[in-house]
Amino acid sequence: MPQKNCRPEPDTLAHKFFFAFLAAAFASFAVKRFNAEELFTAKDAKGDAKFAKNPMKTFSCEAILFDLDGVLVDSTGSVTRQWRRWAEEQNLDPDKLVETAHGVRTIEIVRRLAPHLDAEAETLRLEKREADDHEGVSVMSGAAELLKSIPGGRWCVVTSGTRYLATSRLKLANLPTPKVLVSADDVSKGKPDPQPYLMGAKLLGMEAAECLVIEDAPAGIRAAHAGDMKAIGITSTYPEAELQEADAVVRKLTQIRVSVDGGSRLRIRVE
3-state helix, strand, coil in the chain (%, to 5): 45, 20, 35
Q: How far apart are CA 55 and CA 37, in angstroms?
A: 10
Q: Tell me which residue of 154, 223, 156 sits closest to 183, measured CA to CA.
A: 156
Active site residue 133: no
Q: Alpha-carbon distance 143 to 141, whole Å?
A: 6
Q: How far apart are CA 251 and CA 239, in angstroms?
A: 9
Establish whether 247 is a catalytic residue.
Answer: no
Give the SS3 label for residue 217.
coil
Element (H, E) at 191: none
Contact 229, 65 (CB under 8 A): yes
Establish how many alpha carbons lie within 13 A of residue 223's alpha carbon, considering only the half-sphere containing its beta carbon: 31
Q: Pick the catalytic residue from 44, 48, 69, 93.
A: 69
Of the listed 67, 74, 216, 247, which one is catalytic? 67
Residue 96 exposure: Cα atoms within 13 Å on the Cβ side: 5
Q: Phi/psi at 144 (nearest 5 deg)?
A: -60, -45
Q: Across the strands, what pairs with 139?
A: 73
Q: Name the nearest CA neighbour of 180 among 210, 211, 164, 203.
A: 203
Check: CB of residue 232 under 8 Å from CB of residue 70.
no
Catalytic residues: 67, 69
